[in-house]
Amino acid sequence: MNAAPAPLDIGIPFDHRQSAHCESGVIASLLRHQNVAISEPMAFGIAAGLGFAYLPFVKFGGLPLFAYRMPPGSIIRGLTRRLGIEMHFETFRQPAAGMQALDQYLSRGRAVGIQTSAFWLSYFPPDMRFHFNAHNLVVYGKRGDHYLISDPVIDIRVECDADSLRKARFTRGVLAPRGLLYYPRYIPSKLDLPRAIRKAILYTTGMMLYVPVPILGVRGIRLVSRKIRNLNPREEHRNKLLLGHMVRMQEEIGTGGAGFRFLYASFLQEAAGVLGKPGLAVIADELTAVGDAWRRFALHAAKMCKGRMPMDYGLLADELLHCAQRERGIYKQLRAEIK
Amino acid sequence: MGHSKVLYALDEQGHYAATPCSGWEAEEIVLDQAIAEFERRAADAWQRARQGRGSALEYHMYHRRMDLVLLAQSTGFCKWRVRRHLRPGAFPKLSDRCRQRYAEALGLTPMQLDTLPEQP
């Protein structure tokens, strides 16, 4: 269809490390590539990636959106803003131009992050191929017609043929990637981690506790709890789809377990060392316990969907409420601890 | 699947570490459920298309794990047009350009788009 560009044979040395989440994984590995030592949890925490949102007006296959984190794109933007790193972002109208630009960066020896749909990536296992447009990965080379890819959610390096990658980069619809391509353009010689950590924790806790909208943060969790309690028992098939969908958002879609709670606890543990505040490590343990409670909820909900446990909306609602209460306490403690 | 992913978990010393994990009960159940739902819809659509009550387009849409909204977004057609195109009467009359847009969005050739496979 498009004129084939000259074949490339480039493999930029790139350290592939599997991570829990695509966006925090990509930005952490792009920064590590530039000799900035940063772990995935640290990247996620400083980006203030943790959150909770229940968006009944955004539908996926007729089901509302449950998000356990901030919207796509905000991890890269949040992290780099708080650390004073400047990113280069580029989108394209024409797929051909987008593919050409990618080839040019590669031939200049630059590994770049790109946003794609998860469905069209040929190396994805069929189980994971859903129409989700905000997947992120790093392209570090090209051999003939195949791009060399470090995909943070896959355990090994992979390859993708040019046609599939073009399709994945230029799908349309909600969160359409429009060929988005990015790399860090400027990194300050000294990064002020403690200050960034403080600001990020204040942001996340403020968002979870005080945003005056009932569908966000801890109030959002409580609202979902009420919704589950009031589900109409006569619409069991739909209710099961809804619960299954929620559990998938929490456990399946690259969250590192318990809807990013374990990832954030890991960040708090690391932050305790950086700030010299052992109190944060104690709070990290509590968040781990809440993460376990989230997983208990997920397990019960899944078992009820499968018929391995009698359906009990009240029990699930209580478990969610328990998570909400405990998270509220944790965020308040966190604010007190870093002040 | 044997596909492994990363979970953040505590080691014996109580430190968090990225740990490979191959899935657990809750995750498997909900993943199976989501895939089964798409397969159920595709099979229904296949049945309808066989009996002349639905179109091949509807089958391909569910087979590609899409629904009406997603198909409309990825072709750029508005929802009511897609809904019309899904009907067995309207689908064979589509222009080549429309057909091409559907084929592109679904990753099929226009030939494949017109035909219903032997099995759902």
> Which domains occur in chain B, in start order?
35-114 (1.10.260)
The ranges assigned to domains in chain A are 8-37+86-186, 219-338
Instruction: Output the pLDDT for position A339.
Output: 82
Is A41 touching B (CB cutoff 8 A)? yes
| Kind plus residue range of the DSSP H or E element containing A142 | strand A135-144
The dihedral of CA A36, A39, A43, A48: what is its sign?
A: negative
Is B37 touching A (CB cutoff 8 A)? yes
> Which of A128, A171, A299 minimises the CB distance to B74?
A171
Which chain A residues contact residue B33 at CB under 8 A? Answer: 240-241, 244, 305-306
- Tell me the DSSP string of B49-69: HHTTSS-HHHHHHHHTT--HH
pLDDT score of A218 more than 70? yes
**Could you read off the pLDDT of B47-99 as tens digits, one per residue?**
999 998 889 999 999 999 998 989 999 999 999 999 999 998 888 888 889 99
- Inter-chain CB proximity A244 and B26 less than 8 Å: no
* ipTM > 0.90, yes or no: no
Strand partners, A184: A87
pLDDT score of B7 more than 60? yes
Q: At a CB cut-off of 8 Å and minimum separation 6, what does B114 contact?
A: B56, B92, B99
Selected residues 144-163 of chain A with any CB under 8 Å from a CB in chain B: 153, 155
Return d(Cα B42, Cα A249) in angstroms, integer. Answer: 23
- Inter-chain CB proximity A306 and B73 less than 8 Å: no
Is B107 touching A (CB cutoff 8 A)? yes
Does the structural domain A8-37+86-186 have CATH classification 1.20.950? no
Dihedral angle computed from the Cα positions of residues A69, A75, A79 and A82, in that order, rounded to the nearest 10 degrees: -70
Return d(Cα B78, Cα B81) in angstroms, integer. Answer: 6
Is B5 touching A (CB cutoff 8 A)? yes
Q: Can you give the C-alpha Rg of chain A in angstroms?
A: 21
Return d(Cα A239, Cα A302) in angstroms, integer. Answer: 12
Residue B73, token pair as written in the block: 């977004």
**Could you read off the pLDDT of A147-197 as tens digits, one per residue?**
999 999 999 999 999 999 999 999 988 889 999 999 999 999 999 999 999
Instruction: Output the pLDDT for position A196.
Output: 96
Is A245 touching B (CB cutoff 8 A)? yes
